[in-house]
Structure 1
Amino acid sequence: MKAAPVSFPPLCPAVVESFRSDGSLMDLARPMVEEIDFCAMAGRLSRIARFNGAPEAGAFSVAQHSVMGTEALLNEGEDSLIAALFLLHDGHEYLIGDKTRPFQMMLAEMMDARFGPGTGFKIRAVIADIKTAWDEAIYAAAGLPAPSAWTNRMRSRVTGMDERMLCAEALALFGTKAVDWVKTQPRWAPPKLKGSPAKPWGAADAEFRFLDLFDRLIGIERRTGARALHAAHVATSDSKPVSSKTPTRQPRQGIGHAE
């Protein structure tokens, strides 16, 4: 299995400013191991709601999705490596947010309608490239094989559990009204869950459980080491705004920076 690269190509020529948790600015277009802080990841994922926050039961967080799916894999006898890969499979969302499937579908359909067939596919490909680039940095920081190095078995187990969790969550959170939609999806065996998605965890609980599972599967040394590397990177970065280091393209009217 090939080793993860230690450096990654930029996603675009321009600097894309985005806030870190401490309020400093990072360049979202420059994936790097030094930008990965698993503590910040757990916190942010615990505050990002799946299904765009639609369930009346409360916000079912990306962190809870990741933890429950990981525990289901372990309950089903999967090894700790595949479980760890699943735990971090949505890790990029702590940096770029959760772009829901309906939103991506609408965006692609509008691109096709306005700019011609095939443009929707291109925008989906760009979104996938952004996720993949940050996944490479995240898994490298965790000392795990990046998705580009996964075996077919690894990929099928992670993507399969993701789909199984989606259906289980929809049924638990939306009840009988979700049954017809679930019937349109591939037939998956229900995951062997510990608890029910119908009871969303609070953000603090989801954050704690994510970090606890990370420490058990990947190691507290990896978490603290990544945090120390990230802190050193932030501390040694130039105090000037990111945009002062590299020329940026002028934003279009009505579009701001970093928000």
Structure 2
Amino acid sequence: MTTISAERLCSTSVTSFRPDGSLVDLSRPEPCEVDFDEVAFGLAKIARFTGTHAGTAYSVAQHSVMGAEAILREERDELLAALFLLHDGHEYKLGDDSRPKQDLLAAMLDEFSPNSAAAYRQVVAKAKAGWDTAIYGAAGLPAPNAWTKRQLHVVARMDIRMMAAEAEALFGSAARQVYPLAKHPEPLTRGAIIPWGAAKAEERFLECFDNLIGIKQRHAAKNNHLMHRKAQR
């Protein structure tokens, strides 16, 4: 696998845990840090809408799979579907800060100091973009900054359509009206949007990855990650 040099997001190392308890520097995203098995079980345990709906958590992994499958059925384009599958991949390292939380912090920062909110949103976007570049690189796919206008449009549009459909399924019909594309028909998902649970979400994410991107690419990323870890010891 081609090695892509990492560009630090900031001058300070910011450590977080890997699943085995070792440490990773979040300020240095790079493809060799990405193991898609870890991406799958990480996203499968992160709840969308901060888990505020009743019942089983609706995961980022499920959102990613159902949106990717909807794009595949509507556009008949495996690359577009694959791009959507990984569009929230950075959350397995950075977590999911809900939009209402980000809006609250931005409003508070603006009251604290002019232009602070804009700076906050810029650094959040930069952190996500850094890990997006690493994740798409590990998958052998173009990062969002290299997408065509159509690719950007289709992924963003499906993200909002999915959010509207998810809100209605989890919170009721009134919740759907919050979203700009609320009047759009919901994605052609396979049946109703019912939370899968973490184990099924993980399994379906990996199955979708293998179908769209390839099991060879997943194994290559894992091997690259293992070699990287070995070199660090």
TM class by smaller structure: over 0.9
SS of 2:155's partner is helix
Indicate the residue corresponding to 1:153 in structure 2.
150
Distance across 2 between alignment mates of 1:42 and 1:179 = 27
Q: Does 1:225 align with 2:220?
A: yes
CA distance in 1, matches of 2:117, 2:58: 29
Aligned to 2:207: 212
SS of the residue aligned with 1:76? helix
Closer/same/farther in 2, CA of residues 179 and 63 from structure 1, 3 Å limit? closer
Give, as a single letter, the amino acid of the residue that structure 2 aligns with 1:174: F
Q: Tell me, yes or no, if the aligned pair for 2:29 and 2:131 is still in contact at 8 Å.
A: yes
TM-score of the pair, normalised by structure 2 = 0.95
The answer to whether 1:53 aligns with 2:48 is no
Q: Hey, what's the Cα distance between the residues in 2 that align with 1:71 and 1:80?
A: 9
> Aligned equivalents of 1:14 and 1:102: distance in 2?
28
The 8 Å contact of residues 5 and 140 in structure 1, kept in 2 or not, is answered as no
**Contact kept? 1:57, 1:173, Cα under 8 Å:** no
1:195 CA displacement: 2.0
Opposite residue 26 of structure 1, the aligned amino acid is V
1:98 matched to 2:93? The reply is no
Q: Aligned pair count?
A: 232
SS of 1:13's partner is coil
**Offset, 1:57:** 3.0
What letter is aligned with 1:195? G
Q: CA deviation at 1:234?
A: 1.2
Q: Partners of 1:149 and 1:78 in 2: how far apart?
A: 21
Is residue 189 from structure 1 mapped to residue 185 from structure 2 by the alignment?
Answer: yes
| Structure 1 residue runs without a partner (length 5+) | 239-259
The TM-score with structure 1 as length reference comes to 0.86
Decide whether the 8 Å contact of 2:90 with 2:128 is kept in 1.
yes
2:130 is matched by which residue type in structure 1?
Answer: A
* Cα shift readout 1:123-158 (whole Å, capped 9, x = no counterpart): 011000000011011111100111111000000000
**Aligned residue for 1:11?**
9
Post-superposition offset of 1:188:
3.0
Amino acid at match of 2:214: G
**Quick one: percent identity of the two aligned structures?**
50
Letter in 1 for 2:43: L
How far has the Cα of 1:112 moved from its partner? 0.2
Secondary structure in 2 matching 1:205:
helix
1:99 Cα deviation from its structure 2 partner:
1.1
Match of 1:124 among 121, 126, 135: 121
CA distance in 1, matches of 2:170, 2:98: 16
- Letter of the 1:62 counterpart: V
Judged with a 3 Å threshold, the aligned counterparts in structure 2 of structure 1 residues 203 and 128 are, in CA distance, closer, same or farther, namely same
C-alpha separation in 1, matches of 2:87 and 2:104: 24
**In the aligned structure 2, how far is the partner of 1:179 from the partner of 1:236?**
49
